[in-house]
Amino acid sequence: MRRGSVRTRAALGAALVVAVALVAAGFAVVAVLRDGLAGNARLQAESAARSVAAEVSDVDARGVRELDGLDTDEDEPAQVVGPGGKVLGAGGTLRGEGPVAGFNRPDEDEDKSGDGTAGQETEDAGDDATDDAGEEADEDGGAAAAGAAAEVDRDAEERTVGLDGQDFTVVGVQSRTRDGTPVTVYAGASLKDQQEAVSSVTQAMLVGLPVMLLVVGGVTWLVTRRALQPVEGIRSEMAGIMASADLSRRVPEPDARDEVARLARTTNDTLAALESSVERQRRFVADVSHELRSPIASLRTQLEVGAAHPDLLDVDGAVQDTVRLQQLATDLLLLARLDAGERPGDGRVALGALVREELAQQQPQPHPVRLGEMTDGEVTGSRAQLARVVVNLLQNAQRHAASRVLVSVQESRETDGRWVELVVEDDGPGVPEAERERIFERFVRLDDARSRDEGGAGLGLAIARDVAARHGGTLTVPAGSRFVLRLPAA
């Protein structure tokens, strides 16, 4: 992956999110603005229509043309339509135009009411419809009709109408003249201001959106670059460590307490563990080479002497060196399997019975072994590996005991479960408190003056603790020469 791709993806992602948010907000703003301005235009048109309707109620059909409300400019057109769609008066852009389409007519309303008189008279009289309607109203009692004419018959109706290439919101209301003639009063308000405002806002958004996206993308790119600088430092230092194979080097740790700082600390911890592991492996190889050198050299010397002087061949010594080499190879193989994470198995092992079997199979020892409390104490694991732990502990106790060795197996129940404990204790000088952890390291001998033949290679206790850990238990020296193997009960 090319360098900087993370920064680029972050900048593009941020720009995309902001773009979606701005587009959605832009649509919402334009919709709210359009609705608000349209509502204002409707209120303006309705107010004008009701004002003209109030004037209409004070004059007869012939006097509509002289109404003051019809003398408006082009932005406020008005029109009064009588029965049969006859235009009684108009102003603004509606002057000289036919009746506004799409609205209910007063003659239609009359027909729906069941009378039908006005519609029939309109068809018969033509252009004199208004005169006839006025005369009939006077004959039937014009005072009552005039009282009803001042009322608006229904709620205002709204339409958007195009006049002379311009959009208007036109509102129509029903009314009656003083002489009882039903009319529809139309008044309009221009939508020019609304269209100009929406256009201006839309253009501003179209210009501002790319600028905003560039700013967001640039800032995100710079911020991401600054945030990833410590990561680049970690990567560069790791590359140098890999090239030089110097595991003592560490990556720089930022002062901040963020994810990058935790990554740097974790990386340094990993490097420290790796350095410790490699150093341990180097010491292990060096110790193995040193341990193998002595028996191999001794065995070679004896064989060379035997080849030159058969009567001087020390067969017993050669056998001992061979056995020692075999034992060391077995120990190294077991350690290698433990280090590789070999699972101990899920068999059930009676620890007390295992101790008795191993004691019965051992060769005569310099010190007697006394048995204390011996319960069966079943545990789960590998019988061969646990047997190796028992043998190593018994051999270590025999090596350091003054006169006797005491062995016991007992069970205990604690808050964290049931446990089986194997205790091996001798009456020797004991392990100094400061050395009670060091003795479990590989190839460690506390008595440097002790010969390898008597003291072994220093792997027995290390193997015993590793096996105990693999079985979910512990091996400790709580006091003196008292070794306690603690395993979870099956």
Global confidence as pTM = 0.50
How many whole angstroms separate alpha carbon 87 and alpha carbon 70? 12
For residue 455, give the nearest of 281, 280, 294, 279 by alpha carbon. Answer: 294
Domain boundaries 56-190, corresponding CATH code: 3.30.450
CA atoms of 248 and 244, how far apart (whole Å):
10
Q: How confident is the model over 127-178, as pLDDT tens digits? A: 443 344 344 434 333 333 333 333 334 455 767 777 666 788 888 888 888 8
Delimiting residues of CATH 3.30.565.10 domain(s) in the chain = 344-488
- Return d(Cα 226, Cα 257) in angstroms, integer: 15
Q: How far apart are CA 67 and CA 449, in angstroms?
A: 132
pLDDT at position 97 over 50: yes
Better pLDDT: 451 or 200:
200
Residue 484 has pLDDT above 90, yes or no: yes
3-state helix, strand, coil in the chain (%, to 5): 60, 15, 25
Q: Reply yes or no on domain 247-342 having CATH 1.10.287.130.
A: yes
Give the pLDDT of residue 66.
64
Q: Give residue 214's identity as a one-letter amino acid code.
A: L
Domain ranges in the chain with CATH number 1.10.287.130 = 247-342
Please report the pLDDT score of residue 134 as a whole number: 41
Residue-wise pLDDT for 56-93, tens only, equals 877 776 766 667 667 666 667 888 888 877 888 777 76
Q: What are phi and psi of 81, to 5 degrees?
A: -115, 130
- Flag whether pLDDT at 125 surpasses 50: no
High-pLDDT (> 70) share of the chain, %: 80
Q: Which CATH number fits domain 344-488: 3.30.565.10, 3.40.50.280, 3.40.50.720, 3.30.70.1140?
A: 3.30.565.10
The mean pLDDT of the chain is 77
Tell me the CA distances in angstroms from 18 to 54, 221, 315, 370, one per residue in order: 53, 14, 89, 82
Q: What's the pLDDT score for residue 450?
A: 47
Query: For the chain, how far is it from start to end, CA to CA, in angstroms?
Result: 52
Predicted local distance difference test score (pLDDT) of residue 106:
54
Under a CB-based contact definition with an 8 Å cutoff, are residues 376 and 350 in contact?
A: yes
